[in-house]
Amino acid sequence: MKIDCDKLSERIQAFNPSYFEDFNNFWIRKNSIETDNISVLDTGHFDLTYFMLRHILDSWQTYRNSSNLTPLETLKESLTNIREAYSSIKEYSLLEFDKVSREDLEYLWHELGRVKQPEGKTNSKGKYNVIAVCKPLMLIWGQTMAFDSNVRYNISGMNIHSGQYRWIFDKWYDTMISFSEYLLETPDVAQCIEKESLKVYGNKVMVPYGRFLDIYYFEGT
């Protein structure tokens, strides 16, 4: 695993502006709202949060070929259900991934994963379309990559067997631990990401490490 800081900056500049704008608009709103005790999924903010997510996730084709006939309705239920679990993780960045409650992450995994499942039901193995989980989680938390097919292909040579689109929770968790450890072991790369975040969002904002990693690996290695 190796990230080139010059490539990171170049790829951010060249990334599809409409996809970048979608994320940025959501991320700026999120950071203007959230404090220790308030989240974008709280009652007073939920309706607009859901409206924005529904629009973005639909335009990103997140639920294309869904086995669930009403994925956006299930998404609304799941976002309501994860409110407490999300509040427990939202203050942690990817650099602190090992400190995040594994139980809460696994609950998020099942709730977001089931959105694309038949009738919106969870499955006992917890094996879901990784994109269905990670695209909304990247938007609301920012610390995971979305793991589109390009990203999965480009990280496949890093002792991460990522080619399949259906993952179990442990596979995602171990992958995120690997990236967290890499950033901690290479602080210059973490600083590159933080510098790019500062350019776009200013200071005093949670750095969306996963979002920037997603852009980097979407374009190559």
Q: Using one digit for the tens of pLDDT, what is the confidence trace for 32-54?
A: 999 889 999 999 999 999 999 99
Residue spans of the domains in the chain: they are 5-219
CA–CA distance, 37 with 59 (Å, rounded to integer): 31
Residue 41 or residue 2, greater confidence = 41
**Residue 186, CA distances (Å) to 95, 100, 117, 191, 193 in order:** 11, 21, 38, 9, 11
Q: Using one digit for the tens of pLDDT, what is the confidence trace for 154-205?
A: 887 665 656 688 999 999 999 999 999 999 999 999 999 999 999 989 887 8
Neighbours of 70 (CB within 10 A): 14
Nearest CA to 150 out of 203, 220, 73, 91 is that of 220
Q: Is 92's pLDDT higher than 70? A: yes
In eight-state DSSP terms, residue 141 is T
Q: Using one digit for the tens of pLDDT, what is the confidence trace for 104-152?
A: 999 999 999 999 999 999 988 889 999 999 999 999 999 999 999 989 9
pLDDT of residue 219: 83
Whether the Cβ atoms of residue 21 and residue 221 lie closer than 8 Å to each other: no
pLDDT of residue 157: 67
CA–CA distance, 100 with 93 (Å, rounded to integer): 9
CB-based burial label for 65 (10 Å; 0-12, 13-18, 19+): exposed
Residue 18 or residue 169, greater confidence = 169
pLDDT of residue 60: 92
